[in-house]
Structure 1
Amino acid sequence: MPDMGPWGLGLDQTAAGSAVGRSKPASEPPHTGRAGMPATACNINIGLLGHVDAGKTALAYALTFGTYCGQPSLAPVTSTAAFDKHPESKARGITLDLGFSAFQVPKELVSPEFEAAGISKVQITLVDCPGHASLVKTVLGGAQIIDAMILVIDAAKGFQTQTSECLIIAEITRKTIIVALNKVDLFPEAEREARISKMSQRITKTLEAAGFPNVPIIPVCTKPLEPTAKLTQDADPTGTSDGVQTTASSAGGDGWYECNARWMNIEALLRGVMDSVCVPRRSTQKPFLCMVDHCFAIKGQGTVLTGTVLEGSTKVGDVIEIVSLSENRKIKSMQSFKKPVTTVAQGDRVGICVTKLEPSLVERGMLAAPGSVIFAHAALATAKRIRYFKPEIASKTKIHVTIGHETALATITFLKALTPIEDDFDFQQEYQYEPLLPDHREAPGQTTNRYSVLLEFDKPIACPKNSLFITSKLDDDNHAGACRIAFHGRVQHAMADPNYKEQLAKMLRVYKLKEKVGTIDRVVDERMLIGAKMFKKETNLELFVGMKVVLGSSHEGTIESGFGQSGKFRVRFATALPESLVRPAKATKNPAGRREAASGQEDDQRTLRLTFKKAVYQDRIYQ
């Protein structure tokens, strides 16, 4: 049996509009250019995810500066949040927020697929995600802005709790995965090859069980192999060494090799990335949508909101909406990794400068074309359970819901459709109330999910149509080793009206299936009987007149009216009742002379069952 990590692995919508992995070519040509990059250039967003202290930030260092090596044309760029520059991150020694850095892929590493698409330059933007259990909300947000994922695994420890959570996030978002098996330098040199092989086999089995076959596993070392090497100020285009240890080749020659020799297999890892990802499909046809992760003021300029464009495009001078504030602002200027740009489109990393905005009001959130994103009080969405989440997921309970970078508590109600769910929520269909969300698995290439969920948020949340949401139990023990990600889906219908329940009463047809059981009080004739013990004496029997009841296993009759004041009722049958009920057999005696009671089978023949539907959002019952 494969090694499945802390709780066993294996499940199932990409960042909006992007497509990575070996899929069919897009129907429209890929968008690859923006004002700051030529039309023959392409930006790919790669996330680094894994357990805390697996070496993600050190790997971001190595990848970012390993491509530079004194070549000005390949000079990398880092954001203010890159490489744990924040004082608190330095003090605690862990990544606390998303970090961003970008570099150009050396031409010799650009795969033929990109060249065939007319792309001569590829820029990679690294998204360094925190690994600490308490920061899973940040990871969930970061996972939704990337095109592919480098899963960083400590070679000595293998799959750990947060590694497994990151793999589940990759399954949910359907990201391409490349594994960086880090810290292999900790293995004694004589045992290194054997131990790398053994760990790679274990990881491969786990990945295959999770639906990720043929994932490249690259052993790497992000600690400099030559401790005496130092990064000179001239070799660091950012002007901040921050412990990055690399030098340019002073003797000319192959700058990549000279620099990359300071780390182990960084070139091989980058080759693995380029061989695994496809040319991203980018579209400018949808309304502009940007996920914001940082916001700060620049004296004399205005307020800068940095983020990743998920859909559409925008340009300097356009009016955009700050969704969380429901306020519009005109774009004053834009930059992409410190280069001024006039337009940005899906997949681009951008800083947007606006005026008259207090930065403390916007920590994270969304920018959008005005009026295109609903600030929702409730939403209807598809629902798919994570099978590694062990506790029951019950209707009418609360759970954390993450959409983009925002997380809010929501009360959940599960619904089951009669037919498979399509892209839009079908208000013409009838739905059955489900007390629990079951583990529903789909065969590859099939869409047979029939489960939906009503999300009722404790506070309004930005909710773009068709946006991915992920639910989690963040109040569970961070260190318990159990899966905290419960279920996921896509928003189909968002409701901005605080009085959304009135809308639900008019539009949503949900019922609870109810059953009442009674028995025969007496038989009137061969087609009518009096029933009892099904209703209380105060029940309004008029509500049930005309409903079908079943006698025994299959004999169907209709409630005709009430009978007396004690809850009894008349039932008429279209066909004659069994003769055994109309003319009961005489009771027999056992050998001891005691009279036998009616058998269990005879009792069942005298049982009346009424199955009906009770509307959840309307005051009515029906069949």
Structure 2
Amino acid sequence: MLNLNVGLMGHVDSGKTTLAKALSEIASTAAFDKNPQSQQRGITLDLGFSALRTDLPAELQGHGNWNQLQYTFVDCPGHASLIRTIIGGAQIIDLIVLVVDIGKGIQTQTAECLVIGELTSRKMIVALNKIDTIEENRRVKLVDKMKKGITSVLMKTVFEGSPIVEISAAKGINLDQFVLTLKSISFIPVRDYNMPFLFAVDHCFTIKGQGTVCTGTVLQGQIKLNEEVEIPKIKSTRKVKSIQMFRQCQEIARQGDRVGICITQFDPKQLERGLICTPGFVLTTYATIIRVNRIKYFKGPIRNKSKFHVHIGYETVLACITLFKEEKVQNAEFNANVEYELIDEIEIDASDKDDHVFALLEFEVPIQTVTSALVIASKLDADIHKNQCRLAFFGRMEHHVSNKDYKSQFLPQLKIYKKKHKIGFVQRIVNESELIAAGLFKKEGNNRQAFIGLRIQLSSGEWGVINNTFGASSKVRLRFRTPLSEATLARLRQKNNSADQVKVELRFRKYVFTKDEVGNKVVQ
């Protein structure tokens, strides 16, 4: 059986759960808002799972050993406050059903779901729901108007040309046509069963006398009965006792399958939601480096040393970001042996596609993740009542930092520098090849020793070097290889004319993390 994971996404109260219930033949224990809190509040609070099995479309026959197609519906919450759950659900799906209330059209969370969908999928069908709420004499005209509006919105996304089907999930109107359209855009997803096993757990519970059941989606690889898996969060290995797919026993679970895996008993509260894997595959990660892709709809600042909520799989954690770029772009990947320039902010209208910006993300608490995981950064503390996109940027992990002592062992090797520029003035002449300069450094807390040997330039054009410190204050001694010109010396002797004062300019690079015996390392 070929399994396709179909994500039902959209604004709160657009009818996603009702549609899942109308389409599904099989329900998991976590489906259709069975959670008492969901029933009390009247909204979906967690991911729900159910399934529909159908014949394999003729277009997909002959491309594998499948003779049946199973749609596993992932019913995602729609409320703005639950966006981290929506992002977690989106990362396990193959195809999106965007549910739109015909009476309200594209709303704030509908748009956010579109953005999330663009990062995780390439196929979509739009369910224009609740047509039964529109009077019949107005329905045709309104459906046509809404379809044109949605088509216009989709033209600006990767989902341009996606089919739109008007339905009523509550009344069962046009659901047969919807399923036919869904089958027409179904495809055989890329699966790699030879990779290490990785399983995204979304629910975890104990069955007395049997073990602990972890339900979720196989992200890659496969697992068989009696094989060992690791629970990296608690650093423990367990044996697989049984596997079920919607209550049917299986001997093997492969990438894309929605299954329950029963393993040797442990306290389910220790995991709840997370990863299970081939032993040793998942790493504890304290920081990572990604190439930054700004989300064009995010209008807030992305500044160096600011904090963002970072979503990786089901994990959401606060991270402090350090932004940097390669001056002469050679490739799009991070290279620890290359020097990078620190940048203060990513411009909203940045259009230089060759200007590759990277970000070092330092997590407030370590997370469990794998190489090349998708990283999505957001501002969850933004006002959810405003019409604004909270998703800021995304990227793939290019470098894992799995050393707990990374601040002392990894960061000093990270060659990130900041361009600095200091201006001082010549205070007096020692001789025609030597001057005393002031104003380049502050009186307190300066580390003048670090700058000895660096080049400076006078506003008159001559080049020299900082030869030594001078006195106990902030002054330094400048030396020139050839004597200064008579014109420059004459200007320096005119002490009363401050407008004609000779300036001293010092340009250098200061490393952000690399230090030497006198402080942060500086070079030219």
For 2:442 and 2:106, the matched residues in 1 are separated by 59
**Residues 385 and 438, structure 1, Cα contact 8 Å, conserved in 2:** no
Structure 1 residues 556 and 119, CA, compared in 2 at 3 Å: closer, same or farther? farther
Q: 1:210 corresponds to which residue?
A: 157
Structure 1 residues 546 and 153, CA, compared in 2 at 3 Å: closer, same or farther? same
Q: 1:121 corresponds to which residue?
A: 68
Structure 1 residues 540 and 419, CA, compared in 2 at 3 Å: closer, same or farther? closer
The structural deviation recorded for 1:309 is 0.7
Q: 2:141 is paired with a residue of what secondary structure?
A: helix
Whether 1:52 and 2:6 are equivalent positions in the alignment is no
For 1:358 and 1:585, the matched residues in 2 are separated by 79
The structural deviation recorded for 1:85 is 2.1
Whether 1:477 and 2:383 are equivalent positions in the alignment is yes
For 2:230 and 2:68, the matched residues in 1 are separated by 33
Q: 1:112 is paired with a residue of what secondary structure?
A: helix
Q: Which has the higher contact order (CA 8 A, sep 6+)?
A: 1
The amino acid across from 2:338 in the alignment is Q
The structural deviation recorded for 1:463 is 1.7
**Residues 413 and 513, structure 2, Cα contact 8 Å, conserved in 1:** no
Whether 1:179 and 2:126 are equivalent positions in the alignment is yes
Whether 1:306 and 2:215 are equivalent positions in the alignment is yes
Within-5 A mapping of 1:426-441? 426-439=335-348
Q: 1:234 corresponds to which residue?
A: none
Q: 1:160 corresponds to which residue?
A: 107
Q: 1:616 is paired with a residue of what secondary structure?
A: strand
Q: 1:68 corresponds to which residue?
A: none
Q: 1:192 corresponds to which residue?
A: 139
For 1:569 and 1:397, the matched residues in 2 are separated by 36
For 2:332 and 2:219, the matched residues in 1 are separated by 19
Q: 2:357 corresponds to which residue?
A: 451
Structure 1 residues 551 and 279, CA, compared in 2 at 3 Å: closer, same or farther? farther
The amino acid across from 1:47 in the alignment is G
TM-score (norm 2): 0.90
Q: Larger deviation: 287-296 or 164-173?
A: 164-173
**Residues 403 and 462, structure 1, Cα contact 8 Å, conserved in 2:** no
The amino acid across from 2:512 in the alignment is V
Q: 1:375 is paired with a residue of what secondary structure?
A: strand
Q: 2:277 corresponds to which residue?
A: 368
For 2:255 and 2:328, the matched residues in 1 are separated by 34
Q: 1:502 corresponds to which residue?
A: 408
For 2:509 and 2:317, the matched residues in 1 are separated by 33
Structure 1 residues 46 and 528, CA, compared in 2 at 3 Å: closer, same or farther? same
Q: 2:449 corresponds to which residue?
A: 542
Structure 1 residues 215 and 578, CA, compared in 2 at 3 Å: closer, same or farther? farther
Q: 2:488 corresponds to which residue?
A: 581
For 2:210 and 2:351, the matched residues in 1 are separated by 52
The amino acid across from 2:523 in the alignment is Y
For 2:485 and 2:195, the matched residues in 1 are separated by 66
**Residues 374 and 495, structure 1, Cα contact 8 Å, conserved in 2:** no
**Residues 129 and 169, structure 2, Cα contact 8 Å, conserved in 1:** yes
Q: 1:332 corresponds to which residue?
A: 241
Q: 1:331 is paired with a residue of what secondary structure?
A: strand
Q: Note the residue ranges of structure 1 that are not aligned, 5 or more in a row.
A: 1-40, 65-75, 225-262, 588-595
Q: 1:621 corresponds to which residue?
A: 522
Q: 1:323 corresponds to which residue?
A: 232
Q: 2:38 is paired with a residue of what secondary structure?
A: helix
What's the % identity of the aligned pairs? 43
CA RMSD, Structure 1 to Structure 2 (Å): 2.8
**Residues 419 and 450, structure 1, Cα contact 8 Å, conserved in 2:** no
For 2:492 and 2:376, the matched residues in 1 are separated by 63
The amino acid across from 1:167 in the alignment is L
For 2:253 and 2:298, the matched residues in 1 are separated by 39
For 1:275 and 1:460, the matched residues in 2 are separated by 43
The amino acid across from 2:12 in the alignment is V
Structure 1 residues 421 and 126, CA, compared in 2 at 3 Å: closer, same or farther? farther
Q: Which residue, out of 588, 611, 615, partners 2:507?
A: 611
Q: Which residue, out of 282, 285, 300, partners 2:194?
A: 285
**Residues 93 and 120, structure 2, Cα contact 8 Å, conserved in 1:** no
The one-character-per-residue Cα deviations of 1:350-395 (angstroms, maximum 9, x if unpaired) are: 1100122122222101001111111222222232222322332333
The amino acid across from 2:116 in the alignment is I
Q: 1:514 corresponds to which residue?
A: 420
Name the one with the larger strand percent.
2
The structural deviation recorded for 1:540 is 4.4
The one-character-per-residue Cα deviations of 1:298-333 (angstroms, maximum 9, x if unpaired) are: 222111000101111111111101121111100011
The amino acid across from 1:99 in the alignment is G
Q: 1:355 corresponds to which residue?
A: 264
For 1:173 and 1:466, the matched residues in 2 are separated by 14
The amino acid across from 2:514 in the alignment is Q
For 1:276 and 1:555, the matched residues in 2 are separated by 71
Q: Note the residue ranges of structure 2 that are not aligned, 5 or more in a row.
A: 516-520
For 1:343 and 1:50, the matched residues in 2 are separated by 33
Structure 1 residues 559 and 99, CA, compared in 2 at 3 Å: closer, same or farther? same
For 2:350 and 2:131, the matched residues in 1 are separated by 37
Whether 1:569 and 2:492 are equivalent positions in the alignment is no
Structure 1 residues 147 and 419, CA, compared in 2 at 3 Å: closer, same or farther? farther
**Residues 385 and 440, structure 1, Cα contact 8 Å, conserved in 2:** no
The amino acid across from 1:201 in the alignment is K
Whether 1:551 and 2:500 are equivalent positions in the alignment is no
For 2:78 and 2:402, the matched residues in 1 are separated by 34
Q: Larger deviation: 398-407 or 42-51?
A: 398-407
Structure 1 residues 89 and 585, CA, compared in 2 at 3 Å: closer, same or farther? closer
